[in-house]
Amino acid sequence: MTDALEVEPAAAAVLFGDRIEVARAFGENLAAQGEELGLIGPLELPRLWSRHILNCAIVAPLLRPGLVGDVGSGAGLPGLVLAIARPDVTFVLIEPMERRVAWLNSQVAALGLSNTSVVRARAEEVRLSRPLDQVTARAVSAFRTLIPLTAPLLRSGGELVLMKGAGATAEVESAAKAVRKYRLSNVEVITLGEGVLQDVTRVIRATVD
């Protein structure tokens, strides 16, 4: 099955640096098991690096040392990818589905990610020992829906770093009510990867006051 895996783009070594071997191992594991476990679709292997792994890795510089929660981790996109790229950051992957939790735990062990733990819970029900410094999510739901799920998990001054599609700006505009209710500030859409990736990555970043 791995013979259909996309050839590693040159940008991979640049984005992962000395962590590239760990990233390759993750890519191989996801290619071998992802479709069978329902983590990725059957058409994703030829674009696994460009559309998924590197799409997540480009976000790594936005993270700060501290505790970062990834909501709805699923296949580990972006949580596992970011944990590989940023060993100086502590991650907690939040995922409600048992099968996906098992996959995430298996990868944390196989890849030796000592900076990562997995919690089986829905975002609105999770109970963490301390507030998060930042929260990430990718392809979970609309920004206005994500705000009440993620903002309460953050400390005052904590930050949302949410991966979005081409409609990110429109999502921000339609979330005005939730932005006010949950006291978000500095809400912005950042475009990453221009001239580096095949497809740019858009991130909605916001601070919780």
Tens digit of each residue's pLDDT, the chain (209 residues): 445 789 999 999 999 999 999 999 999 999 999 999 999 998 899 999 999 999 999 999 999 999 999 999 999 999 999 999 999 999 999 999 999 999 999 999 999 999 999 999 999 999 999 999 999 999 889 999 999 999 999 999 999 999 999 999 999 999 999 999 999 999 999 999 999 998 999 999 999 99
Position 2 scores a pLDDT of 44
Give the other-Cβ count within 10 Å of 158's Cβ: 22
DSSP E strands in the chain: the ranges are 67-71, 90-95, 116-120, 132-138, 154-164, 184-192, 201-208
Asked whether 56 and 138 are in contact (CB, 8 A), the reply is yes
* Among 71, 77, 78, 63, residue whose Cα is nearest residue 159: 63
d(C-alpha 206, C-alpha 209), whole Å: 10
DSSP 85-131: H-TTSEEEEEE--HHHHHHHHHHHHHTT-TTEEEEES-TTT---SS-
Position 136 scores a pLDDT of 98
Tokens of 168: 């990110």
Q: Which residue has the tokens 């998924």?
A: 52
* pTM, to two decimals: 0.96
Give the other-Cβ count within 10 Å of 176's Cβ: 11
The DSSP call for residue 140 is S
Position 42 scores a pLDDT of 82
Give the other-Cβ count within 10 Å of 125's Cβ: 9
d(C-alpha 74, C-alpha 118), whole Å: 11
What is the C-alpha end-to-end distance of the chain, expressed in Å? 47
β-strand pairing of 184-192 with 201-208: antiparallel
Amino acid sitting at position 164? K
Asked whether 152 and 184 are in contact (CB, 8 A), the reply is no
* Among 152, 83, 85, residue whose Cα is nearest residue 124: 152
